[in-house]
Structure 1
């Protein structure tokens, strides 16, 4: 006969592992493809990633340089925005059009919010989408 064993129910401290360079490289490739689907300019993409346009174009051409913690966080938030949109909308056309569509919650398209250039601007859009899909 099996006996029941007690389970640890106390919350454990969580510390996320840092994003590796290999993971960041994969995210960058995905984000470059996503930016093409969003139909944004290289200048807009560079603003979203807080990079000089020349650096973004070099990275886009497949020659990424070293990514700092901020860049990795930006990539992660952009991927999170895309994931939330994929969960909210069934139609891929709506997924990719949403960032440029008028948005009453922001009083402007979400892309305009993100183009504020701060990491917190990306986080604001991501939090909004996560709340809309019921993740928070």
Structure 2
């Protein structure tokens, strides 16, 4: 009997982070195109993460891992700010009058795929939480 192949902890962590980020984006109401742009992953990778299958061999580059981290940290900040699930999951779809958003929702801004927009969205939400990181 052959031993099972060893799991690569980096790939396992990447797959777990990606699946979690995709689930959060789904709860926020992001479209597939927005999610793919925010995480900078292909349509097929995003679809596999949404189905939660076939990600055992996924390798994410530093930029993709950073984007996953921003989504997870935005979600953590929103959980600190809001008790109400409607606000926790709806905030990212709500128009925002902050000068950076110019009446657009955070998802609209991040959905363009620019890493700076993803970072700046995180930064502004983190300030609402009191920047306790």
TM-score by length of 1: 0.79
Unaligned residue ranges in structure 2 (runs of 5+) = 1-8
Higher RCO (CA < 8 A, seq sep 6+): 2
- CA distances 1:86-128 after superposition (whole Å, capped 9, x unpaired): 1011101101000110101111111111012121111101110
Q: Which residue of 1 aligns with 2:79?
A: 86
Unaligned residue ranges in structure 1 (runs of 5+) = 1-18
Structure 1 or 2: more helix by fraction: 2
Q: Which residue of 2 aligns with 1:96?
A: 89
Equivalent residue in structure 2 for 1:30, among 20, 30, 44: 20
Q: CA deviation at 1:52?
A: 2.3
User: How many residues in Structure 1 have an aligned counterpart in Structure 2?
Assistant: 118
What CA distance in whole angstroms lies between the structure 1 residues aligned with 2:39 and 2:47?
Answer: 12
What CA distance in whole angstroms lies between the structure 2 residues aligned with 1:110 and 1:30?
Answer: 19
What CA distance in whole angstroms lies between the structure 1 residues aligned with 2:130 and 2:44?
Answer: 39
Q: Which residue of 2 aligns with 1:124?
A: 120
Is 1:113 the equivalent of 2:114?
no
TM-score by length of 2: 0.80
| Contact residue 22 and residue 46 of structure 2 kept, 8 A | no
Bigger radius of gyration among the two: 1
What CA distance in whole angstroms lies between the structure 1 residues aligned with 2:42 and 2:18?
Answer: 15
What CA distance in whole angstroms lies between the structure 1 residues aligned with 2:49 and 2:105?
Answer: 26
What CA distance in whole angstroms lies between the structure 1 residues aligned with 2:25 and 2:126?
Answer: 20
